[in-house]
Amino acid sequence: MERKIIIEGNISIVNLSNVGTLEEYNVDSEDINEESEIKSIMEEVDAYAQSGELDVMTDVCTFKVMNGENIEYLAIADEESDEKKVSIDSFKLINQSVEPIKSLLARASVGDIIYLRKEQGKANITLSLEMQNSDEVMNLSYFDCSTDMDSYDLLRESYYDTVCDTFLPETLSVQENKSTVENFLFEPQIVYGELYKMVENEEGIKSLEKVEIPGYYFQDAQRGIDE
């Protein structure tokens, strides 16, 4: 039997990219303090990250995540029953590995810039899932900070807060059956970017530090894009 799952609410699309070094953009972060300079640099980095060139090198991680508390509507329907509202507790949450993020950071060289791009807004998602019977437990992947934050020092930065304790709606599954996305409508309200630099301490341990350039709002529905 086919089951439809409808999810409405706030969603974040989080993208991490290795965009090279600041020198490649002719940037000295200590000299940048004008809004126009910040805008120019961030737009150049963003254009490169969105160009698709990085996807070929696999140095990109993208996650669509939602907070269970911010779901406005969650329902299921199938051939045997009409659309019925359910809670997130109806699903089994399975810890999502942060290995893709960890691998991206581990591959980065000292001096490389990791670009974080966050799109936040309203989403309306319809998923389709083949099930043997209506009693089967549906699974969703979930970023469990209590587990991952103890494991990976590289993730101890503010960029991880965006995915911390969130679930990934498109990971819906039953046993070996994965869902397909029938509909994904997204209205971004905020698009924000910030830069982190890979550094290494005297013991040879790599970590990230935020670049002094302030984060930049490409879009903010609450204050206006050009404010």
pTM of the model: 0.83
Q: Of 132 and 142, which is predicted with more confidence? A: 142
Tell me what pLDDT residue 156 has: 52
SS3 132: coil
- Arithmetic mean of pLDDT, 3-23: 88
The answer to which of 12-16, 53-57, 136-140 has the lowest mean pLDDT is 53-57
Helix ranges (DSSP H) in 18-163: 35-50, 53-57, 99-107, 145-151
pLDDT at 145 over 60: yes
- Which of 79-83, 102-106, 139-143, 161-165 has the highest mean predicted lDDT (pLDDT)? 139-143
What is the DSSP annotation of 73-121? Answer: EEEEEETTEEEEE--GGGEEEEEPP-HHHHHHHHHPPTT-EEEEEEEEE
Tell me what pLDDT residue 202 has: 86
Contact 91, 142 (CB under 8 A): no
Tell me the C-alpha distance between 98 and 101, whole Å. Answer: 5
Amino acid of residue 38: I
What Cα–Cα distance (Å) separates residue 66 from each residue in 34, 94, 183?
A: 34, 14, 16
Confidence band, pLDDT 50/70/90 cuts, at residue 38: confident
Residue 116's nearest CA partner among 10, 208, 23 is: 208
> How many C-beta neighbours within 10 Å does residue 68 have?
17
Q: What is the pLDDT of residues 200-212, one digit of tens each?
A: 888 887 888 888 7
Q: Could you tell me whether strands 60-65 and 177-178 are parallel, antiparallel, or unpaired per DSSP bridges?
A: unpaired
Tell me what pLDDT residue 162 has: 73
